[in-house]
Amino acid sequence: MNKDELKLHDMKLKNCQIIDNILFKKSLLWVLKQMHMKLLWKIHDQSLILHSDIRWMIDLVQRFYYWSDHQATIQQYIWNCHVYQRSKASQNDTNSVLQSLLISQQRWQDIVMNFITELFLSKNYNVICMIICRLFKERHYVFCHWEDNDISIEETVWIMLWNVYQLHDLLSSIVSNRDFQFILIMW
């Protein structure tokens, strides 16, 4: 059997050479299967360009390293990277162009409500609820205390009753960073 027909694992040794007991294929370092994840971790998670995308990783690996089916390994590794998944732009059709809000016709008819959380405890308060009139940009700041960094829907309703409805009557719309459950119970 000649060198062209020899195989090591799944790689033909035709275009391979050994330099200082290290196997190279076409001048690329051949990486053992046991080292794939460690190499990808070093490049993807620890390099200067953290958590790069799949195309960039494949290009970088192909410049210096070789193993069979490296593209599938890289793709699987990056799909399992939580940081990359959270930071990449979504390709869903549901995430389309944002729809602009209608212009308010009356003061305190349409509001924006947001919670500023994880504040240091001050006078027994650690959260601020911002309620802003969208038309005149008038605002109310309501200081709250949350035990477990979460406020119940009932507590939010009481904040709205005492700080908005009592002063400004009923609303037409609320824009909030809270979930749909909040909106359903509020209305």
Q: Give the pLDDT band (50/70/90) at residue 1.
A: very low
Average pLDDT on 114-122 reads 85
Between the CA atoms of 152, 158, 163 and 168, what dihedral angle is there, to the nearest 10 degrees? Answer: 120
What Å distances lie between residue 156 and 34, 132, 142, CA to CA?
53, 15, 11
What letter does residue 125 receive in the DSSP assignment?
B
Q: Residue 4: is its pLDDT beyond 50?
A: no
Over the chain, what is the mean pLDDT? Answer: 76
Residues 6 or more apart whose Cβ sits within 8 Å of residue 92: none
Q: Is the pTM of this model over 0.85?
A: no
Average pLDDT on 47-64 reads 74
Q: Residue 10: is its pLDDT beyond 70?
A: no
> Which sign, positive or negative, has the C-alpha torsion 143, 117, 125, 146?
positive
> Out of 37-41, 155-159, 179-183, which region has the weakest mean confidence (pLDDT)?
179-183
Contact 173/186 with Cβ under 8 angstroms?
A: no
Residues 6 or more apart whose Cβ sits within 8 Å of residue 133: 104, 107, 108, 110, 111, 139, 168
Contact 6/40 with Cβ under 8 angstroms?
A: no
**Percent residues over pLDDT 90 in the chain:** 5
> Out of 49-53, 75-79, 181-185, which region has the weakest mean confidence (pLDDT)?
181-185
> Which sign, positive or negative, has the C-alpha torsion 73, 78, 82, 83?
positive
Between the CA atoms of 113, 117, 119 and 123, what dihedral angle is there, to the nearest 10 degrees? Answer: 60
Locate all alpha helices (DSSP H) within 67-152, ordered by sequence.
70-79, 82-87
